[in-house]
A and B are shown apart, each in its own frame.
Chain A
Amino acid sequence: MRRWLVLFPAWVWLLGFVAAPTVILLGIALGSSAEGVPPFRWPIGPGFAWQGGFGNFATLFEDEFYRDSLWRAVRLAASTAALTLLLGFPMAFAIARARSGWRAPLLALVLLPFWTGFLLRMGAFIGLLRDQGLVNAALIGLGFIQEPLQLLYTEGAMLAGMVHAYLPFAVLPLYATLSRLDPMLEQAAADLGAGPVAAFLTVTLPLALPGVVAAFLLVFIPAAGEFVIPELLGPSDALPVGRVLWQEFFQNRDWPMAAALAIALLALLIVPIRLFQRTS
């Protein structure tokens, strides 16, 4: 009873600010947009008359633009996660195998950019990659090219920004797994005739697999809803669902459609999220 009282505010908070918004989101996705403030009609009208429907979801499946936005989000999230792993795994491995006094500072170096302001880091990429930016200036100065390359507002710039933003999320779980692995296991494998590559493939990698899966999902889940990086660094036709949702909401003021897109994104992520919660 006393416990209930202590936990009561937390319950009210969670039900009010986590559960309720999700229910409302679903409700409005079933409603329709309308002139006025706020610019939508509830699916249940005055006198409990049903005036909602699955029209938004139907549009979502029929209209290639929306369907593609979901597919683009999956592609963007998957390639971001794959690239982050490719870079993050050797980094985590090197830190886990570094001398004990080096591990904490190296890990801090990887995690610290997280605290330096995400938008400012994206700003730095703009400064580096734009036509008169530092990278083009360097390439011209070294005589590799005469004319500046289009670097900013490309898929490449977008991916670079994504990897930069999400790299710490991948290194942390990978490090957690790899640092628990006994280096003696590799020595035992070597003693039994496995070369370094064979030892890595047959011993280290299988044992690190849970960490790899966790890292992939930890990047994939937030990356699938990303809006800022495609907006700031990507080409104007790179429209993953996060950016489309944003446009529906802020430019078209179609709140029910934005809500339907949010629900679709959630449905898309439900499997990775369940998988992630199982592994962690």
Chain B
Amino acid sequence: MRRVRLVPCLLAAGLVFLWAPVLLLVGFAFSADRIPFQWGGFSLRWFTTLAANERLIEAAWLSLRVAAGAATLATLIGGVAGFALARWGAFRGRALFGALIGATLVLPEVVTGLAMLLLFVTLEAAIGWPAGRGALTVLLAHATLGAAYVAVVVQARLAGNERMLEEAAMDLGAGPAAAFRTITLPLMAPALAAGWLLAFTLSFDDLVIASFVSGPAGTTLPVLVFSALRLGLTPEINALGAIILALAALCVGLAVLLMRARWLEGGGEGG
């Protein structure tokens, strides 16, 4: 009996620990006081200051473009890779293929960042591409990381009994191409969308890899926020936090709607 009460209490404590900093950050974004986390009456002044901060707007815009590009590239590559892993059984080189994807997932960020930078430097010395470091190199590095995540999400989605659905389609007269287009692709779509969102988030939130592979021309939002945070918290960052939380809530809401798409529930039938 005692445990029954203790366990939910610990859950509540854990949730408070997780959410209190986030919610306080957002709440104090609306404080007029110049010192962060100090209430000086309701005000939107920090949002106005934020809007006037050109370096920050520029970095945010760059981060958005890089994240969108990296997520799209990651979805293309990772989608194909995840499909192959789920459907093609023991194709030639599968072990190496899977290991490379797995390695991408578990390598510490500092290692990935450093290795990526060294690759770009070496490539530039050898073939002159990519010339210098900036948005392109960040995008390529983020797409690599994202592709591995997309591959795993897609593979998990296709690992169910959908093989049988493709067989049913072929039995009803669909060739492999038609079966892929009419059955497999629609079934993969939610995983591709979820994978895209995940890759976007990873890219948009990444500081370490971006710090290594971005030159002065590639200052993304996290790189800028990090250099500010090293000196301490400012109310502008509070305001930025509020905006990002709102955007994240929007994205997550969208993702939930996608995952709740009615036919997904039907996808689990049989066995």
Touching in the complex, A and B, CB below 8 A? yes
Q: Is residue A71 contacting chain B, with contact meaning CB distance below 8 A?
A: no
Query: What residues of chain A lie closer than 8 Å to B252, measured between beta carbons?
Result: 108, 112, 115
Smallest Cβ-Cβ distance to A223: which chain B residue = B108
Query: What residues of chain B lie closer than 8 Å to A262, measured between beta carbons?
Result: 110-111, 114-115
Q: Is residue A10 contacting chain B, with contact meaning CB distance below 8 A?
A: yes
Q: Is residue A245 contacting chain B, with contact meaning CB distance below 8 A?
A: yes
- A189 shortest CB reach to chain B, Å: 13
- A228 shortest CB reach to chain B, Å: 6
Query: What residues of chain B lie closer than 8 Å to A251, measured between beta carbons?
Result: none
With contact pairs A10-B81, A95-B11, A273-B106 given, residues A117 and B241 touching in the complex (Cβ less than 8 Å): yes
Q: Is residue A184 contacting chain B, with contact meaning CB distance below 8 A?
A: no
Q: Is residue A100 contacting chain B, with contact meaning CB distance below 8 A?
A: no
The 8 Å CB contact of A196, one of B1, B11, B19, is B1
- B5 shortest CB reach to chain A, Å: 11
Q: Is residue B208 contacting chain A, with contact meaning CB distance below 8 A?
A: yes
Q: How far is the CA of A114 from the CA of B204 in the complex (A)?
A: 12
On chain A, which size bracket covers the interface?
35 or more
Query: What residues of chain A lie closer than 8 Å to B101, measured between beta carbons?
Result: 14, 18
Q: How far is the CA of A10 from the CA of B101 in the complex (A)?
A: 10
- A31 shortest CB reach to chain B, Å: 10
Q: Is residue A21 contacting chain B, with contact meaning CB distance below 8 A?
A: yes
Query: Does A24 contact B122, Cβ atoms closer than 8 Å?
Result: yes
Q: Is residue A55 contacting chain B, with contact meaning CB distance below 8 A?
A: no
Query: What residues of chain A lie closer than 8 Å to B256, measured between beta carbons?
Result: 108
Smallest Cβ-Cβ distance to B119: which chain A residue = A21
Query: Does B251 contact A18, Cβ atoms closer than 8 Å?
Result: no
Q: Is residue A66 contacting chain B, with contact meaning CB distance below 8 A?
A: no
- B50 shortest CB reach to chain A, Å: 13
Query: Does B205 contact A128, Cβ atoms closer than 8 Å?
Result: no
A138-192 interface with B by 8 A CB criterion: 163-164, 167
Smallest Cβ-Cβ distance to A218: which chain B residue = B106
Query: What residues of chain B lie closer than 8 Å to A276, measured between beta carbons?
Result: 106
Query: Does B248 contact A228, Cβ atoms closer than 8 Å?
Result: no
Query: Does B21 contact A38, Cβ atoms closer than 8 Å?
Result: no
- A204 shortest CB reach to chain B, Å: 10
Q: How far is the CA of A112 from the CA of B201 in the complex (A)?
A: 12
Smallest Cβ-Cβ distance to B115: which chain A residue = A21
Query: What residues of chain A lie closer than 8 Å to B80, measured between beta carbons?
Result: 6-7, 9-10
Q: Is residue B91 contacting chain A, with contact meaning CB distance below 8 A?
A: yes
- A2 shortest CB reach to chain B, Å: 10
Smallest Cβ-Cβ distance to A280: which chain B residue = B102
With contact pairs A119-B226, A200-B3, A224-B108 given, residues A22 and B115 touching in the complex (Cβ less than 8 Å): yes
Query: Does A245 contact B11, Cβ atoms closer than 8 Å?
Result: no
Query: Does A123 contact B14, Cβ atoms closer than 8 Å?
Result: no
- Interface 9-residue window, one of A45-53, A85-93, A208-216: A85-93
Instruction: Report, nearest first, the 9 A-B pairs whose CB atoms are least far apart.
Output: A225-B108, A124-B21, A21-B115, A94-B11, A90-B10, A127-B37, A124-B25, A21-B119, A120-B241
20 A-B pairs with C-beta separation under 8 A: A3-B84, A4-B92, A6-B84, A9-B80, A14-B101, A18-B101, A21-B116, A87-B14, A87-B17, A116-B22, A116-B244, A119-B225, A128-B37, A196-B4, A227-B109, A227-B208, A228-B226, A242-B108, A258-B114, A259-B118
Chain A residues proximal to chain B, CB less than 8 Å: 3-4, 6-7, 9-11, 13-15, 17-22, 24-25, 28, 38, 87-88, 90-91, 93-95, 97, 106, 108-110, 112-128, 130, 132-134, 163-164, 167, 196-197, 200, 221-222, 224-228, 231-232, 242, 245-246, 249-250, 255, 258-259, 262, 265-266, 269, 273, 276-277
Chain B residues proximal to chain A, CB less than 8 Å: 1-4, 6-8, 10-11, 13-15, 17-19, 21-22, 24-25, 28, 35-38, 77, 80-81, 84, 88, 91-93, 97, 100-104, 106-112, 114-116, 118-119, 121-122, 125, 140-141, 144, 147, 201, 205, 207-208, 211-212, 222, 225-226, 229-230, 232-233, 237-238, 240-241, 244-245, 248, 251-252, 256
Seed contacts A22-B103, A127-B238, A227-B208; 8 additional CB < 8 Å A-B pairs: A10-B97, A21-B112, A108-B252, A109-B19, A120-B240, A130-B233, A164-B17, A259-B114
